[in-house]
């Protein structure tokens, strides 16, 4: 059964849940397309502008998302980014929990958070081309191809705010806290 809208929340990573987050893994064939939870946690900790959240289904951690927000004064935006862009830097859903709509709902939570903020107009994502590429995942969320970055990754983007004709998701009870790193 697919996740309903209210099922998925984004919660801070803290000392109580970090061990569970470190246990999250993708399928072996996907390991080449996304960094491990440990690497993402470590890199996000040292990257100004990184916003990291655990993806929860009810009280169960099922994934990890990291957004890069260049509005942080110390942030160094990637050259693919334009003013008003944020970057969905990392997204992983645990291998045991994929295919239930959780990834899609996690991105919706990110969109909800940033569409309330001034100065954010678009969200970008990148992924390596190939058989494991999450092309239809991002297409289903309204991301459109933008070309490639200097490492040959596919760049996709969509507006932060709802597009004409896009269904309005019901309000979320999830994390709506302000910017902050964990
Ligand atoms: C990509 C990922 C986050 C998707 O999470 P998920 O919870 O399994 O995805 P959902 O169940 O929300 O899928 C939503 C839709 O995307 C499609 N989809 C999901 N993963 C896909 C993939 N890897 N490739 C192509 N399509 C995919 C699903 O078939 C579904 O389509 P439908 O609505 O027509 O049925 C997950 O597979 C993952 O962690 N992959 C490894 C890391 C990765 O590629 N991250 C993204 C780039 S940083």
Which ligand 1 atom is the nearest neighbour of the CA of 93?
39
Residue-range domain boundaries for the chain: 5-159
Which pLDDT score, from 0 to 100, does residue 86 have? 98
Q: What is the CATH number of domain 5-159?
A: 3.40.630.30
Residue 164's CB: how many other CB atoms inside 10 A? 4
Per-residue pLDDT of 122-156, as tens digits, reads: 999 999 998 889 999 999 999 999 999 999 999 99
How many residues comprise the chain? 182
Cα 137 to averaged position of ligand 1 atoms, centre (Å): 5
Which ligand 1 atom is the nearest neighbour of the CA of 102?
7
Which pLDDT score, from 0 to 100, does residue 181 have? 32
Calculate what percentage of the chain has a pLDDT beyond 70: 88
Q: What is the pTM of this model?
A: 0.91
Cα 13 to averaged position of ligand 1 atoms, centre (Å): 22
Which pLDDT score, from 0 to 100, does residue 180 have? 36
Which pLDDT score, from 0 to 100, does residue 33 have? 84
HEC string of 92-112 equals EECHHHCCCCHHHHHHHHHHH
Per-residue pLDDT of 67-119, as tens digits, reads: 999 999 999 999 999 999 999 999 999 999 999 999 999 999 999 999 999 99
């Amino acid at each position: 059964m697919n996740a309903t809208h209210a099922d998925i929340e984004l919660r801070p990573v803290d000392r109580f849940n970090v061990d569970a987050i470190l246990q999250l893994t993708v399928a072996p064939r996907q390991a080449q397309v996304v960094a491990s939870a440990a690497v993402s946690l470590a890199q996000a900790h040292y990257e100004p502008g990184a916003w990291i959240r655990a993806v929860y289904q009810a009280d169960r951690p099922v994934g990890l998302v990291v957004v890069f927000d260049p509005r942080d004064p110390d942030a160094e935006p990637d050259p693919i980014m334009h003013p008003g862009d944020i970057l969905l830097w990392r997204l992983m859903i645990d291998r045991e929990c994929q295919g239930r709509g959780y990834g899609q709902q996690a991105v919706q939570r990110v969109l909800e958070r940033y569409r309330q903020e001034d100065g954010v107009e678009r969200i970008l994502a990148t992924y390596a081309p190939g058989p494991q590429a999450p092309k239809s995942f991002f297409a289903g969320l309204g991301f459109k191809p933008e070309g490639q970055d200097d490492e040959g990754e596919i760049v996709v983007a969509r507006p932060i705010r709802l597009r004409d004709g896009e269904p309005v998701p019901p309000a979320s009870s999830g994390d709506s806290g302000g910017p902050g790193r964990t």
